Structure 1
Amino acid sequence: MFGNYLIGLREGLEASLVVCILIAYLVKTGNQRRLPPVWAGVAIAIALSLAFGALLQFGSSTLTFQAQEALGGTLSILSVGLVTWMVFWMRRTARHLKSELQDKLDTALALGTGALVITSFFAVGREGLETSLFIWTAVQASGDGVRPLVGAVLGLATSVVLGWLFYKGTLRINLAKFFRWTGAMLVAVAAGVLAYGIHDLQEADLLPGLRNLAFDISGIIPPDSWYGTLLKGIFNFQPDPTVLQVTVWLLYLIPVMALFLAPERPRPAAQPRQPAPRPTAE
């Protein structure tokens, strides 16, 4: 539940901030009459995300076991790639998100109603599709369809409340630090999802080494114990992983976490232009 709460909170907060910035800018510039197209784009994005999640859930239930494992493993790896790209993108653009969205909104206002719908749709839809995919893979990994969904819904609800408080101006936090530390936690969660995806592909006979275990500590951390369930729910921990799972987990977690937590290099300041030399008389 906690891992999916974190996913819902972070992705939902990104979408909430985007909507708050769009609405606040329209109100500030006296374009309140242009709010309905923005809300229409948001509604379409939410509907598409829900439909995508339903398609994943009900579409995969008609497949054979081997096909389900192959699909689950492939989508797990895809979701890890999307989440990794997302956390690095937000780390780089968190400080400039407001100005970038306002520039896009200025262009959309000049183009018309359709452009406003498309702008808000793409701004929210990306987070919605990523959330659906990542939550679906987390549900498949845990084998529990209730608690992961409850955690995700609670995270999304929290993000909506925080977004409303941001809009009202009653809540101010350092968003760069918030996205930095939640991003680091998501990298750890993504490493577990990646290892689970590798195990799925091994069970589908697409990767070798299913019986080649790295270790087995089921006697120390039983999978059905409360702490075993907690570790699996948050980090997709498995007490008897294969060698390939552990190798891929380390190859992902160590370099990605190091790159993500490394201090950003300051951008070099633009060099002042030298004045052209004045012509001299012969």
Structure 2
Amino acid sequence: MFSNFLIGLREGIEAALIVSILVAYVVKLGQQHLLPRLWAGVGLAIALSVGFASLLAITSNELSERAEQIFAGTTSIAAVALITWMIFWMAKRARFIKGQLQGEVDAALDKGSWALAIIAFVAVIREGLETALFLYAGISSSGGTSEPVIGALLGLLTAVVIGVIIYRGAVSLDLGKLFRWTGFALIIVAAGLLAYAVHEYQEAGLLPGEDNVAFDISSTIPPESWYGSLLKGVFSFRPVTTWLEIIVWWAYAVPVLVLFLKKTKRQAPQKQPLAQQAA
């Protein structure tokens, strides 16, 4: 649940930050009459994201067992790719996002009021589709329980509350530090998802090594225990793990963590409070 809460929180804060910047700038320009169209773009993006999540669930239910394993593994790899791209993109672009969005609003107002709705839609749909894909991968890796959904919803609700508070200027957060720490945590989550994808491919017969077990601690950490479920939900941990899963986990986690650490260290001297981003 925690990993999906973290994903919901991270994606939700990004979307809330974008919407807050757009709304604040439109109000600053005295164009409040355009806000309904902006919210229409946001609403459409949310609706399509929910539809995409439903499509993933329906598609998975209609597949055979082997096809479902391949589908779950493939979507998990896609989720890992998006998580990796997202954390590095935000580490690089967070400091410039306000100016970029305001420039897009200025250009949209020159083209017509509905162009503002398109900007809001495009800005939010990316976060929504990513969240839907992450959520499906999280549900698959945790055994199909409802906990990932609850965790993601709690994360999104928390992000909405934070977004409202930020917009009202009641709090100032260090944006760089926030995304830096969530980025570190998400890299660990992504490594677990990648190992889970390998496991699904092994069960489907696409990858070798299903019988080459590195360790079996199911007697110490039963999968049905609360702590076994917690480890599986947060880290996609399996008490019975193959050597290939371990190799893939470390081959992803170590270099990505090192690269992310180097990038965030270079960005660290330039801090941007979150409240100032939305102002």
Q: TM-score, normalised by structure 2?
A: 0.93
Distance, in Å, in 1 between the alignment partners of 2:237 and 2:262 is 26
Distance, in Å, in 2 between the alignment partners of 1:83 and 1:264 is 16
Q: How does 1:139-218 map to 2 (within 5 A)?
A: 139-218=139-218
Q: Return the offset for 1:214.
A: 1.5
| Residue in structure 2 matched with residue 125 of structure 1 by the alignment | 125
Q: Is the 8 A contact 2:180 2:264 kept in 1?
A: no
Distance, in Å, in 1 between the alignment partners of 2:183 and 2:66 is 33
SS in 1 for 2:216: coil
Q: Return the offset for 1:209.
A: 1.2
Q: How does 1:1-282 map to 2 (within 5 A)?
A: 1-264=1-264
SS in 2 for 1:241: strand
Distance, in Å, in 1 between the alignment partners of 2:100 and 2:20 is 14
Distance, in Å, in 1 between the alignment partners of 2:148 and 2:263 is 33
Q: 1:101-133 CA deviation, whole Å, 9 max, x = no partner? A: 111111111111332121111100000000000
Q: Return the offset for 1:264.
A: 4.7
Q: 1:223-261 CA deviation, whole Å, 9 max, x = no partner? A: 222222211111111111111111111100000011111
Distance, in Å, in 2 between the alignment partners of 1:211 and 1:177 is 42
Change in 2 beyond 3 A, CA 1:70/1:110: same
Q: Return the offset for 1:266.
A: 5.5
Q: Is the 8 A contact 2:91 2:263 kept in 1?
A: no
Q: Is the 8 A contact 2:165 2:171 kept in 1?
A: yes
Distance, in Å, in 1 between the alignment partners of 2:264 and 2:48 is 35
Q: Which consecutive segments of 4 or more residues in structure 1 shift more than 6 A?
A: none
Distance, in Å, in 2 between the alignment partners of 1:184 and 1:265 is 13
Range with bigger deviation, 178-187 or 143-152: 143-152
SS in 2 for 1:215: strand
Q: Gaps spanning 5+ residues in structure 2: where?
A: 268-279
Distance, in Å, in 2 between the alignment partners of 1:266 and 1:195 is 30
Distance, in Å, in 2 between the alignment partners of 1:193 and 1:62 is 22
Q: Which amino acid aligns with 1:85?
A: W
Q: Return the offset for 1:192.
A: 0.4
Q: Which of 1 and 2 has greater Rg?
A: 1
Range with bigger deviation, 19-28 or 210-219: 210-219
Q: 1:30-76 CA deviation, whole Å, 9 max, x = no partner? A: 11111122111101100110000000001210110000000110110
Distance, in Å, in 2 between the alignment partners of 1:73 and 1:99 is 38
Give the CA RMSD over aligned residues. 1.3
Distance, in Å, in 2 between the alignment partners of 1:242 and 1:125 is 37
Q: Return the offset for 1:144.
A: 3.6
Distance, in Å, in 2 between the alignment partners of 1:106 and 1:83 is 30
SS in 2 for 1:214: strand
SS in 1 for 2:240: coil
Q: Is the 8 A contact 2:42 2:120 kept in 1?
A: yes
Q: Which amino acid aligns with 2:11?
A: E
Distance, in Å, in 2 between the alignment partners of 1:88 and 1:72 is 25
Q: How many residues align?
A: 267
Q: Return the offset for 1:82.
A: 0.5
Range with bigger deviation, 234-243 or 125-134: 234-243
Distance, in Å, in 2 between the alignment partners of 1:262 and 1:239 is 33
Q: TM-score, normalised by structure 1?
A: 0.92
Q: Is the 8 A contact 2:8 2:152 kept in 1?
A: yes
Range with bigger deviation, 12-21 or 109-118: 109-118
